[in-house]
Structure 1
Amino acid sequence: MTAVPQSPHCDSPDRESIDRETARLAWARAASGNPELSLQRASVDAGFRSYWRASGAAGSHIVMDSPPALEDVRPWLRMRELLEGGGVRVPQVLVEDVESGFLLMEDLGGPTLAKVIDDANADAHFAAAITQLLKLQAIVPPPGMGEFGEALLQRDAGLFEEWFLRRHLGIALGCGDAEHLQLVQRRLMDNALSQARVLTHRDFMPRNLMPVADGPAVLDFQDCVSGPVAYDAVSLFKDAFLSWPLARVDEWLAQYHARALAAGVPVPPLAQFRRDADWLGIQRHLKILGIFARLHHRDGKSHYIADAPRFIAYLDEVLPRYPELSPLRDLLDSRIRPAMTGVDA
């Protein structure tokens, strides 16, 4: 997250924050018709949005605060409308004020699926999540929607080398290692680009799902793109914050594949789909390592980098299946793993 430039006016950020807090409470009370309403922080979005639980005698709601100068709420609203039109369970908006950047929404409760899923209930929760994912993937991406294409893949590849290898681990790749990494990244990108395209959430994981009766409800959907068909499925089962045994992940991927075929989602035969999912998983894990390192070093959000070993473990599980990606496995053994032993993560 980049720093917000200071305005030339004399108001300090603290003054602006207080003014926004006052406006938020006044708007929530007017929108709900409850002058006694109180607000408590519910969660903070990865961007500039924040969420507040509005409690009163008539029950509770959620207020989204999306300051217009920092994060326009209209793309979120447009994507919510698109998903709802396709039958995806998304938060219901009760009152909206686009100009001020405030929304009054239903309170889905809490916590997220990431906090309640466990070995005993995972099958049922993932079956429900697949139902929502198939609805999402059945929606035709509208004209002008962003593409999970070459530019985005190149950016993702750069995150790993710039932030995780160079900045976090202090690894400067020589010509040979750099060429080997570029070869693997090129193969991963070609795999992603060759897959059938569907509407793609890009962070379809338990942390962004709310376990409600007619759900789970899907959150954090504003960055949907037209992307490779296997991406969201592997994101769901190989989470950034929660790991499962590889054999169980393979079973869930097979279940998704069977249901996707039946639903008319353009998945290839199972063996090809499994390879596509594995390779997209590797591409995603490398990207997230770069993002978590950037959050640590640039943004001061250091708790994410503690999950770096999870992604190395994901790579260790899958890379032996694919000799074509052996240069990455060699780089892990020769450079990355030794460097991680000397770095706090």
Structure 2
Amino acid sequence: MNGLAWDDARARRAREWARRQLGAAQEPALEPAAADASSRRYFRIQVPGDGSRIIMDAPEQSEAVAAFVRIAGLLAEAGIHAPQIEAADLEHGLLLLTDLGHRTYLQALHEGDDPQPLLDAAVDALIRAQATVPVDGLPAYDEARLRGELELFTDWYLPCCCGVASAEARRRLRGGLDDLLERVGGQARAFCHRDYMPRNLMVCTPLPGVLDFQDAVAGPVTYDAVSLLRDAFISWPREREVATLQRYHRRARAAGVPVPEGFEAFWADCQWMGVQRHLKVLGIFARLAYRDGKPRYLTDAPRFFAYLRAAAEEQAALRPLVDEVLALAAVPGRVSYAEVD
């Protein structure tokens, strides 16, 4: 997982720290729980007679760990099922967390679980967060930040995967990206998890458990709903996507979440928001491959190009931008992994 060893000095330090926090006489058994695209890792430890815990090991990420602690508190106050923090060492990037179980939504869906109750619970939890979690003090997901994310596509994906110079990519996409940012920037703001997707939602009681929320912001109200339904690792039939968003829209309106009054306008906002996210994710995948030596992420790039095409089919105003993106991306790549620092 993530190319990192699991029985190294970091793991041993985390295990010893957890032992002290728990007051255990012996070091608890430790196993990998998860890794992500960053250097952050998660270990599961078994505590004799007291179940299991999760250790977050995130050295040199003290700000992200502090954000995790703060947002975990906000989610708990809102009634969202997030891990409870039993101990923290912010200086060394260590957290001791309650364990929400072994099965993610993604695993459950791939194993054939009925998706409807999972999606319904995810929608309800999202609405609860958007309706009740205060956004004062959260970073603003503003135009500068959104534009910087789009530049991941022009500065990483197109040059590295397609051989298109960054300056040329920015020039050809400038007008379409400006329009995109204007439409996305006009959306109402709400609590935005930023990674609200099946691999960060847990099958547990109550459903769902919510993970990986340390990057939460005050952002466009459609962002998390789009993240849930246009994921990197699973795609939904259009009928289920529409039905789920209709349910979300109806219940969000009733809860006071600032979505557009009509579903058609909300659906259009989702398409614009989706394109921003899809381009960002493609850029992140390329950066992970070419800068960080993790090429496996690029295997899911075709899914995001399919999402781009779907958004343009649903929203005619997006077609010029998506057509230009597809034209640029069709150029064969001319850069090898070894040539990119």
Moved more, 248-257 or 42-51: 42-51
Match among 22, 38, 43 for residue 47 of structure 1 = 38
How is 1:59-208 mapped onto 2 (pairs within 5 angstroms)? 59-67=51-59, 73-117=65-109, 121-172=114-165, 178-208=170-200
Contact 1:47 1:71 in 2 (8 A): no
Q: Could you list the per-position Cα deviations for residues 131-155 of structure 1 after superposition, in whole angstroms to 9, with x for gaps in the alignment? A: 1101110135343321111111110
Question: Given that residues 163 and 335 in structure 2 are in contact (C-alpha distance below 8 angstroms), is that contact kept between their aligned partners in structure 1?
Answer: no
Equivalent residue, structure 1, for 2:16: 26
Higher RCO by CA contacts (8 Å cutoff, separation 6 or greater):
2
CA RMSD of aligned residues (A): 2.6
- Given the two structures, how large is their TM-score scaled by the length of structure 1? 0.87
CA–CA distance in structure 2, aligned partners of residues 216 and 341 of structure 1:
44
Q: CA deviation at 1:335?
A: 3.5
Please state how far the C-alpha of 1:286 moved relative to its aligned partner. 0.7
Matches within 5 A, 1:207-218: 207-218=199-210
Over alpha carbons, which structure has the higher Rg?
1
Residues in 2 aligned to 1:284 and 1:317: alpha-carbon distance in whole angstroms: 14
Judge conservation of contact 2:203–2:209 (CA < 8 Å) in 1: yes
Runs (4+) of structure 1 exceeding 6 A deviation are 340-344
Say if 2:41 and 2:58, in contact at 8 Å, map to a contact too.
Answer: yes
Q: Distance in 2 between matches of 1:338 and 1:225?
A: 35
Q: Could you tell me which residue of structure 1 aligns to residue 235 of structure 2? A: 243
Per-residue deviation, 1:215? 2.2
- The answer to whether the 8 Å contact 2:54/2:96 transfers is yes
Query: Offset of 1:112 from its aligned partner?
Result: 1.1
Shift of 1:182: 1.5
1:169-211 residue CA offsets vs partner (Å, 9 max, x unmatched): 1023786x75552122111111111111101111111111111
User: For residues 275-318 of structure 1, what are the alpha-carbon distances to aligned partners after superposition, in whole Å with 9 as ceiling and x for unaligned?
Assistant: 00011011100110011011000000111000010011111222
Question: Are the equivalent residues in 2 in contact too, given 1:180–1:328 (CA < 8 A)?
Answer: no
Tell me how far apart the structure 2 counterparts of residues 342 and 69 of structure 1 sit (CA, whole Å): 31
**Cα–Cα, structure 1 residues 60 and 171, in superposed 2: closer, same or farther, change >3 Å?**
same
Corresponding residue pairs, total: 328
Aligned letter for 1:277?
C
Amino acid at match of 1:310: R
In the alignment, is the contact (CA less than 8 A) between 2:163 and 2:331 conserved in 1?
A: no
* Aligned-pair CA distance for 1:157: 1.5
User: What TM-score, normalized to structure 2?
Assistant: 0.88
* Deviates further, 33-42 or 310-319: 33-42
Pick closer, same or farther for the CA change 1:222–1:331 going to 2, 3 Å: same
Report if the CA contact (8 A) 1:141-1:225 is conserved: no
Cα drift, residue 23 of structure 1: 2.9
- For residues 11 and 113 of structure 2, the distance between their equivalents in structure 1, rounded to whole angstroms, comes to 42
In the alignment, the residues of structure 2 paired with residue 281 and residue 64 of structure 1 have an alpha-carbon distance, to the nearest angstrom, of 30
Tell me how far 1:255 sits from its aligned partner: 1.1
Question: Which deviates more from structure 2 when the two are superposed, residues 266-275 or residues 317-326?
Answer: 317-326
AA partner of residue 35 (structure 2)? V
CA 1:262 to 1:294, structure 2 compared with 1: closer, same or farther past 3 Å?
same
Partners of 2:61 and 2:181 in 1: how far apart? 35
